[in-house]
A and B are shown apart, each in its own frame.
Chain A
Amino acid sequence: MRIFLFELNEGLVIALRAIASNKVRSLLTMLGIFIGVAVVITMSTAIKGIDNSFQSGISSLGTDVLYVDKWAWFTNEEWWKMRNRKNITMEEYYKFKELVRLPVAVAPVTNTIQTVKYNERRVENVFVNGSTADYIKTTNFTFAQGRFYSEIESNAARQVAVIGSEVAKKLFPNVNPIDRTIKIGGVNYKVVGVLAEQGSFILGPWNPDNQVYVPIETIFKNFFNRSFKTITINVRANGPAMLDETKFEVEGVMRKVRGLAYNQENDFSINQQEGLEQTYKSIVGVIQIAGLFITGLSLFVGAIGIMNIMFVSVKERTKEIGLRKAIGAKKRTILTQFLLESSVICMVGGIAGLIAAIIMSLLINQFIPTSIQIDSVLIGISVSLITGLVSGFAPAYTAAKMDAVEALRYE
């Protein structure tokens, strides 16, 4: 062990000296690993960021919530079949609510896209959600300020609104929004609550931060009548464990509401977050594999570069190797020396690449909330070390098994 450490130490000194005496070549070689590691880690950080955003976005939807809808979110059904389904009406919602037993909350939801204004400030194309007071129980929303509208407000169709954090930021950059009057599609509403930041860019207009929540009856009063379009019924199960059982009940009750015979297909869909997640995962999976493959390729090219340089370096130093062997260097010693040389080159390049990746991830962080993961740091370092060892092995082995007599004669 002591001898091994001694050789390692001396080998390192020799390797550093060899690297230093060929600065330009060593730097160019490092560049290959530098780019490889920087790209691989930046890529994995970006993917992690997208993932984070999606997870935080989707968690605001709740894992135990079912959405009874005319449309299926993800399906192989023909579009026109769903198109011909009956709209879900408020009457059906009341009957449904009457009959179900398992859910902890049931809320009808409709929406409209409107311009929201406060004095001179305006936000275009805002999703305005209309529902009942129970809606808040079907979400995981948290509040920055104020509260959700109450059952009384909702039943009485009061002109009250809860606004998402993005909307609040745009309309009220400097003032407290609570109790201010905003115009939604030209109608006055009083702000009673502001949501805390929930989600993420990735859901786009579906991001709860970009939305406004008002009592459903005010939408029917101000924007369109209740039979204008289908509503969605949000149903929250009593915890994820109850989800399947609840789904079963919801399907049965909805069929009963619709008066479907046993041999008729469902003319509605029950959606859940799971489907969204699966679709998302399959997309991200493809991005991940393609990304890692491409970036991995650049690392591979870098590794070949190292191997190439090391072969040149060994060839060039044939005479030196011969001399070292003549004065007592063992095979193992020569092997260690050259492996150390390629590892040091790779490590330096890899650590520089890591630093570049950290800077890149800070830049990405401006757009997607993300951070460098400790595991990608470890992967970066170990990948560059392994690259150094693997790509250095063949040249180092060539050097180690060189015949001393012939090596000394080499010109």
Chain B
Amino acid sequence: MNIITIKNITKVYKVGTEEVHALRGVSLSIDKNEYVAIMGPSGSGKSTLMNMLGCLDTPTSGLYLFKGISVSEMTDNQLANIRNKEIGFVFQTFNLLARYDAIHNVELPLIYAGVPKDERRERAKRALIDVGLGDRMNHKPNELSGGQRQRVAIARALVTNPSIILADEPTGNLDSKTGEEIMNLFQEIHNKGNTIILVTHEEYIAEHAARIIRLRDGHIEKDEIIKPQKTSQQVIS
């Protein structure tokens, strides 16, 4: 089943009087339980594409269907809802709230989903245990290492059981060993049946994915499957 279908999407920014064409007609579709890496040099439009996929931004023209519903026609509130319930973001800079301890950071999306306090606490705990931080729940971000912070961020992305995990350079601020651990965590998450979209410019990070989409100058340059996709059968076993 297609979670994401985009057809001939363009995005034009106005910078002063200049028009910048960040995307010049991109089409792709992503299935449930895919593990996709989006690659490209800076200026290739991969960030724009990611914002689009994450419903943070709407295309200038073209069609974007999220689970069969057109995103371009959604109101701000509907977009916020989709981001809240269907998409889990993982950022390069973690973007944890410094004042909040780990468990509160993970709870955050559930607050906006209107989940009552006790259930929120319970789900946040489970998500933290899932990413291996069961013993760090009450630590604030500045008491955690970079890898641990990114794990908190991943727990925050997972806690709402989203349809896709959208990770933007998740290892960009980590040393290669910790980065590798985080990539292994993504692999685990993928193995549990989650759909992951990874944005990176590092070849060796992209190779963790099963499919690599390469962007250049706002076009898809190459879209290749590098590993056989697991079927649902394999996921269960």
Contact = CB atoms under 8 A, between A and B. Distances in A.
Interface stretch (A146-154, A220-228, A320-328, A389-397): A320-328
Contacts of A405: 51, 56-57
B35 interface: no
Contacts of A322: 95
Contacts of B84: 327-328
B111 A10 contact: yes
A3 interface: yes
Given A319-B95, A320-B97, A408-B91, A327 B114 contact: no
Interface residues of B, number: 24
B190 interface: no
A345 to B, nearest CB: 17
Contact of A328 (B80, B91, B95, B97): B80
A327 B57 contact: no
A388 to B, nearest CB: 21
Q: Most A CB atoms within 10 A — which of B76, B80, B100?
A: B80
B99 A17 contact: yes
A329 interface: yes
A331 B97 CA distance: 19
A328 B76 CA distance: 10
Nearest to A6: B114
A243 interface: no
A327 B56 contact: no
Q: Most B CB atoms within 10 A — which of A320, A329, A330?
A: A330
Interface in A283-328: 319-320, 322-328
B83 interface: yes
Contacts of A325: 56, 80, 83
Interface in A196-246: none
B56 A329 contact: no
Given A333-B112, A404-B56, A405-B57, A323 B97 contact: yes
Contact of B77 (A21, A323, A324, A331): A331
Interface string B76-91: 1100110111000101
Q: Most A CB atoms within 10 A — which of B54, B56, B89?
A: B56
B211 interface: no
Contacts, number: 57
B114 A328 contact: no
A327 B83 contact: yes
Contacts of A17: 99-100
A90 interface: no
Q: Chain B's interface: helix, strand, loop or mixed, by majority? A: helix
Contacts of A100: none
Nearest to A319: B95
B108 A327 contact: yes
A332 B75 CA distance: 13
A6 B110 CA distance: 12
Contacts of A404: 56
Contacts of B109: 327-328
Contacts of A6: 114
Contacts of B99: 17-18, 21
Contacts of B56: 325-326, 404-405, 408
A324 B54 contact: no
A319 B92 CA distance: 13
A300 to B, nearest CB: 31
B112 A328 contact: yes
B113 interface: yes
Given A3-B114, A320-B97, A330 B91 contact: no
A332 B76 CA distance: 10
B156 interface: yes
B54 A327 contact: no
Interface in B99-138: 99-100, 108-109, 111-114
Contacts of B97: 320, 323
Contacts of B113: 328
A330 to B, nearest CB: 4
Contacts of A18: 99
A180 to B, nearest CB: 76
A328 B83 contact: yes
B162 to A, nearest CB: 10
A319 to B, nearest CB: 7
Q: Most B CB atoms within 10 A — which of A21, A323, A328, A330?
A: A328
B47 to A, nearest CB: 9
A324 B107 CA distance: 12
A334 to B, nearest CB: 10
Contact of A324 (B76, B85, B91, B108): B108
Query: Which 4 pairs, one residue from A and one from B, show the smallest C-beta to C-beta distance?
Result: A328-B84, A328-B112, A327-B109, A330-B80
18 contacts: A3-B114, A6-B114, A17-B99, A21-B99, A322-B95, A323-B91, A323-B95, A323-B97, A327-B112, A328-B81, A328-B85, A328-B112, A331-B77, A331-B80, A333-B112, A404-B56, A405-B57, A408-B56
Interface of A: 3, 6, 10, 17-18, 21, 319-320, 322-333, 404-405, 408
